[in-house]
Structure 1
C-alpha cells in the first residue's frame, strides 16, 4: 500500500506524462483490431491525429460493434477476449446498455481502484483497524446474455464480485451466493441474517440500498443504532448518487464522530476518482493510470455534432465539462454522460456536477427526460388527459420514510382518474427503465410517484417571475434537486 501511494504521487506530479504514455499504450495494443485498422491506429499516433480520425461517440455509435462482441466475435474494439458486460441504463434506444469489460479493465481499472481506495484510506488514517473485520458490500446480480449464453451481463458490482481474487473474497461479507441474489427483498433479508453475526468494519455501496439494509438490520435486531450491531464499523465508501441528501440519515443511524465517509467515482465504464483528502466532501482525485485516457467537452459545445475536446492540460477550474474516455476495454472517445468540474489542477481533483441531460438519479434510478416523456404520454392516453407542462423531482429519504418522485403536472384536460394516471406513469417508467424498476420492487427503496394536478398557469407564472417568459426558455422536466419544484410551488402559493 505504501508503494502504491508512491505511484499515485507520481501521477499527481506528472499527470500529462502519465496520460500520454497510457494513450500510446492503448493505441499500440488496439492497432490490429477492426476498429484500430479502420481508424488508422499506429505506433506513435499523435493526439491530434487521433482526434481527427476518431469521432466522439456515444453508446448508439458503438452499439453495432458491442452487439457483435456479445454474439461472440472478438478483436473488434479491443484484442482481449470479452466475456463480461456491465449492464447500465440510460440509453436512448434501448432499455439497458451493455458495456464491455475486458480482463485489463477488470484488473487495471476496477480492481486497481478498489485497492487504491484502501491504500488512500490507510494513508489518511494510519491508526485504522479496518482489516480486523469484514467489508460489507451490496452488489447487483448477473446472468448469461439473452443473445449468447457464453457471455454474462450484470451490474458492474456483480461482475467485479464474481471475478474477485480469493484474498479479496475472504475479506468481504456476505458470501457470494447471497451478494449476487437477484431478488432484492430476499437478498436483503438474507444479508441481515448473515451479516449481523460478523465483525463488519467497513461498508461500500450506493447510499440508497445501504440505508435500506441498515434500517432492516435495526428492525430485526431491535437495536437503536448500527454501532450496537457492529461496534467496530469505521468506514462507508459510497458512490453512484450524491451523498449530500443522505448524510444526516447516516449520521443518525451511525452516531459516531469516528465514522469516516469516502466518496468514489466508479461506473460501468470504469473507475475514475477517489476522495484522497479527509473532510473534502464530494471532491475526488482523478485517477490517471487506470487504462483510461481522458478528454473533456466544454458544456457550451456539447450539442455540436463533433465538439472540440480538451485534453487534461487544457482544462480550467470551475467550468463544467462532459467526460469523454478511451479505455482498455475498447471504448473509444466515448461520452459517458457525466459532467464534472475541476476543483484543483495540481493535482487534478474533480467534483461530479451532473449528467449531460436533465435526469433524476437520487436513488440510482437514472430516469432521463425521454423516460419521463414516454411515461407521461402513455398515462395521458390511458386517462384521456392532455398536459401543458410538467416537472419532477425527488423526495429524499427521511428517518422512517422511503423516497419517491414528486410530479407537478399542469393539465389542459384533467385525467378521468388521477390515481389511474399515476399508476400508468409508474408502470411505464418501470417498463422503459430497468434501474427505476429495480428501485421500485416491493416499494423497498422507492415508493410510487406523488402526482399533483397543478392549477393552470403555474409554470407561466414561474417563468414570468424568473424573467424568462417567452423565447426558448423552458421548464426543466427533471431535476435531481428540489430547487425548481419548490420554487414553482412557492411562487404560486401552493
Structure 2
C-alpha cells in the first residue's frame, strides 16, 4: 500500500476520536462525575473500597468527606504489598506493572501502580489523542509518511514476585502494540538499553538513517540528542538530516529555558511544537491548538480531578474542590483519583486555569519546588518568566539552573542563591543580576515586599556554572536521560551545595 494512502487512513482514523473529545468539552462536570462513580463502583469490593464503603457513596460530598487526601508515603505499605503479589487491595483488576519514579525532591524511589485500564484508557489513549489534536489542526500533515523519534528514559524492566517495575517509558514500550514499532525510531532494542551514553550513540546511528517526521521526548535530553546528531553529521540544521520533520511533542519540564536553542537548530518557521502534561501517575493534558502553550485538561482518561487552592495549601483552612468550582488564574495543587487505584492522591504539581470553557491549564510548578524560606512564595513560573525576559534583554541563553535560599545567620539578611549554566553568557553578570532581581519583583509581589529596602532579602547571588555541570551532576547521581529533571527551586540547599562543589572540580 502506498505510504501516502497509509498516512490518509491513519489520519482519518485518529480524527474520528475528535467527536468523543467534543463530548467532554461540552459537558465537563457531567463527564467527570460519571467517571468518578464508575471507578467507585468498579473498586467497591477492593480492600480500600470496603474500608471506606464505596458502595454507599452517592454524592461527591460523600466521596470527599469519607476518603482522605493522601501522599505516596501514606499508601506506600499498600503499594509494597501489591508489589509482593497481593491483589484487590486498591484496584479490582490485577496490577502487574509499577512505574519507578524518584522525582527530584526525594531520593527515595516511588513505585506507581500501572493497571491495564490506565495503560489502555489513559497513556495509550493520550498518545492517540495527541496525534488527533495535531492532525485536526493541520490538515496537510504527513506524519505517517515517516517515523516518530521517541526519546524515553527507558531502562530494563525488573521482575519481582510476579510483578514488573521500571521506567514508565519502558513499560509503555514493552506493552506497545506491534504496529507501533514500525512507526517509530529508535527500535525497542535500542530504546531499552540501560547505559545512557551507549544508548545515545546507538540512537544517533539508528535514527539518522530514517525519515523522521516528528520528535517526542523531554526537552533537556532531546536537545542533547539533537546536538549530538549535528556534531556527528557535521550539519548546522536538523532539517538537513530530516527534511520532512514537522513537529516536536514535548513535556516533562518547562520548555521556556530551551525554546531559543531549539529554534536555532529547527529554523523553519512552520515547524510546530506541541506540549503535553503527563507523569507516571497518568496523562493529564494536551496542547490542542497550534502556537499555544495552553493545555486542554483531558477529562475522560479514567482520572477524576480535584484541586487545593495554594493560598490555603497546608494550612488549617485548606479546602479541596472539584472541577466545577475552579476559578481562572488561581494556583492549585492537583489531586487525582485514577483507574490504577490511586485514591485522592496528591501528585505534587501545581497548575492554574487559563480558560474554563474548555478547561485549559498551565503547569506552574511543584508543591515542593518553590522557595518560601522568607514568605516570598517564589514559584517556578515566576523564575522562568523572569529568566526568559532577562535573557532576551542581555542576548544570553541558558542550559539549566537551580536555586535555593541563603539562610539568615545572626543579623545577616537572607537571599536567593542561583547557579546557572549558560550556553551564551551575558557580557555583564552584575547587570544580569540587577535585571533578574527587578523582573522577579515585577512578577511576584511577595518577593518584591521582602526585597523592599533589603528589608528581609538581599539581592540574588548568581554563579555562572562551568560547561556540562548539570550533565556531570546527573551522571554522578546515576540520573542520565529520560524523565530525570533538574530541581529548579528548593527550600533546601542540598542540590545547590552539591552543584557548587562540582562546579569547582
Instruction: State whether TM-score is above 0.5.
Output: yes
Maintained 8 Å contact 1:89/1:97 = yes
Describe the shift of the 1:268–1:306 C-alpha distance in structure 2 as closer, same or farther (beyond 3 A): farther
Maintained 8 Å contact 1:239/1:266 = yes
CA RMSD of aligned residues (A): 3.6
Partner in structure 1 of residue 320 of structure 2: 309
Partner in structure 1 of residue 440 of structure 2: none
Partner in structure 2 of residue 264 of structure 1: 276
Describe the shift of the 1:195–1:331 C-alpha distance in structure 2 as closer, same or farther (beyond 3 A): same
How far did residue 94 of structure 1 move?
5.4
> CA separation in 1, counterparts of 2:423 and 2:315?
41
1:25-40 residue pairs with structure 2 within 5 A?
25-40=38-53
45, 55, 58: which one pairs with 2:71? 58
Partner in structure 2 of residue 20 of structure 1: 33
Structure 1 runs (4+) deviating above 6 angstroms are 360-369, 387-390, 425-430
Describe the shift of the 1:150–1:143 C-alpha distance in structure 2 as closer, same or farther (beyond 3 A): farther
Maintained 8 Å contact 2:306/2:321 = yes
SS of equivalent residue, structure 1 residue 120: helix
Measured against aligned partners, the alpha-carbon deviations of 1:219-275 in whole angstroms (never above 9, x if no partner) come to 111111110100000010000100011111011011101210000001111000000
Partner in structure 2 of residue 83 of structure 1: 96
Q: Does 1:237 align with 2:249?
A: yes
1:89-168 residue pairs with structure 2 within 5 A?
89-90=102-103, 95-145=108-158, 148=160, 150-168=162-180
Partner in structure 2 of residue 299 of structure 1: 310
1:195-206 residue pairs with structure 2 within 5 A?
195-206=207-218
175, 187, 199: which one pairs with 1:187? 199
Describe the shift of the 1:427–1:249 C-alpha distance in structure 2 as closer, same or farther (beyond 3 A): closer
Maintained 8 Å contact 1:83/1:151 = yes
Maintained 8 Å contact 2:151/2:222 = yes
> CA separation in 2, counterparts of 1:12 and 1:184?
41
> CA separation in 2, counterparts of 1:90 and 1:205?
17
Give unpaired runs (5+ residues) of structure 1. Answer: 377-386, 401-405, 407-421, 450-474, 481-494
1:465-484 residue pairs with structure 2 within 5 A?
none
> CA separation in 1, counterparts of 2:494 and 2:415?
11
Q: Does 1:222 align with 2:215?
A: no
How far did residue 395 of structure 1 move?
2.4
Number of matched pairs = 410
202, 213, 233: which one pairs with 2:225? 213
SS of equivalent residue, structure 2 residue 299: coil
Describe the shift of the 1:145–1:176 C-alpha distance in structure 2 as closer, same or farther (beyond 3 A): closer
Partner in structure 1 of residue 352 of structure 2: 341
TM-score norm. by structure 2 comes to 0.74
SS of equivalent residue, structure 2 residue 479: helix
> CA separation in 2, counterparts of 1:219 and 1:349?
39
401, 407, 420: which one pairs with 1:395? 420
Maintained 8 Å contact 2:277/2:286 = yes
SS of equivalent residue, structure 1 residue 191: helix
Give unpaired runs (5+ residues) of structure 2. Answer: 1-13, 372-379, 385-397, 426-432, 434-465, 496-505
Maintained 8 Å contact 1:66/1:100 = yes
> CA separation in 1, counterparts of 2:133 and 2:274?
10
Describe the shift of the 1:396–1:160 C-alpha distance in structure 2 as closer, same or farther (beyond 3 A): farther
286, 299, 321: which one pairs with 1:274? 286
How far did residue 479 of structure 1 move?
13
